[in-house]
Amino acid sequence: MVQRDALQAGPESGRKHGGAPRWPWLVYLVGAMVCLLCSTLSHLLACHSHKLNLFFWRLDYAGISLMIVTSFFPPIYYVFLCHPLWRLVYLSSIATLGVFTVLTLLTPAFSSAQFRPFRAALFLAMGFSGVVPAAHALWLNWDEPHCLLTSVYELAMTCFYAAGAGFYVSRVPERWKPGAFDIAGHSHQIFHVLVIAGALAHYAASLVLLDWRDRTPCLPSI
């Protein structure tokens, strides 16, 4: 019900009724769509030539980084809406880490297979950098049911992403039976399914927070 109400509100409704800004939520949606678009293009065109292979896989890594960074915008913006300093600190920190990650992954040397665990570690580091703002948010809003519900969604998202990274690095199950999973069921497909599941969990969390901020604006300072 909370998610449906937030969806029905929409960007225009929020502005008309003085609700929370919609742009952080839209930033995440755009980031997720760009990430999936980059992934689609990479899997479709990377086999064209060695040169394009390197280019598109780097594009894929950049898309993943973009999705991780933009996923921080809705929760941090809405939870810390009444704390602009902390909002700026956390969003600036993740944006800086994201730029560093993209620049690192665009370096040709890090595109090779031997750096596969390193790439996964970078993505996980970006994701788990949200532990500090999440703990801070819970401390500030421990008595808010919306924030507690959001924590459940975000925990589910973390589990999906961590499991996806585990499959990505370990190459299970194809390493157990080479050739049996060449068409379906290999680790990269499982990785993508888990990433989409994590993105949907985060989408649901963002809608809960958006609905909460529409109903609970900041109190004017005395």
- Closest residue by Cα to residue 203 from 19, 12, 27: 27
Q: Please say whether the beta carbons of 202 and 156 come within 8 A.
A: no
Please indicate, yes or no, if residue 23 is contained in any of the structural domains: yes
Q: What is the largest CA-CA distance in the chain?
A: 68
Please indicate, yes or no, if residue 220 is contained in any of the structural domains: no
Question: What's the mean pLDDT in 145-154?
Answer: 90
Please indicate, yes or no, if residue 112 is contained in any of the structural domains: yes
Tell me the residue range of the domain where 51 lies: 2-215
188 labelled binding-site residue: yes
Position of tokens 């600190």?
A: 89
* Radius of gyration from C-alpha coordinates of the chain: 19
Please indicate, yes or no, if residue 24 is contained in any of the structural domains: yes
Q: What is the distance between the alpha carbons of residues 122 and 39, in angstroms, rounded to a whole number?
A: 18
Q: What is the distance between the alpha carbons of residues 93 and 106, in angstroms, rounded to a whole number?
A: 20
Please indicate, yes or no, if residue 222 is contained in any of the structural domains: no
For the chain, what is the mean pLDDT? 86
Three-state secondary structure call for residue 221: coil
- 60-106 tens-digit pLDDT: 989 988 999 999 999 999 999 999 999 999 999 999 989 988 888 88
Please indicate, yes or no, if residue 221 is contained in any of the structural domains: no
6 pLDDT exceeds 50?
Answer: no
Other residues' Cβ atoms within 10 Å of the Cβ of residue 52: 14
Question: What's the mean pLDDT in 153-170?
Answer: 90
Please indicate whether residue 144 or residue 211 has the higher confidence score (pLDDT).
211
11 pLDDT exceeds 90?
Answer: no
Please indicate, yes or no, if residue 179 is contained in any of the structural domains: yes
CA 77 to chain centre: 14
pLDDT at res. 18: 60
Q: Please say whether the beta carbons of 53 and 15 come within 8 A.
A: no
220 pLDDT band (50/70/90 cuts)? Answer: low
43 labelled binding-site residue: yes
Please indicate, yes or no, if residue 25 is contained in any of the structural domains: yes
Q: Which two tokens stand for residue 184?
A: 């379906």
15 pLDDT exceeds 70?
Answer: no
Write down the pTM of the prediction: 0.82
Distances in whole angstroms, Cα of residue 44 to Cα of each of 31, 38, 47, 192: 20, 10, 7, 15
Question: What's the mean pLDDT in 25-37?
Answer: 96
Question: What's the mean pLDDT in 37-51?
Answer: 94
Percentage of the chain lying above the pLDDT 70 cut: 90
The number of distinct structural domains making up the chain is 1
186 labelled binding-site residue: no
Please indicate whether residue 116 or residue 171 has the higher confidence score (pLDDT).
171
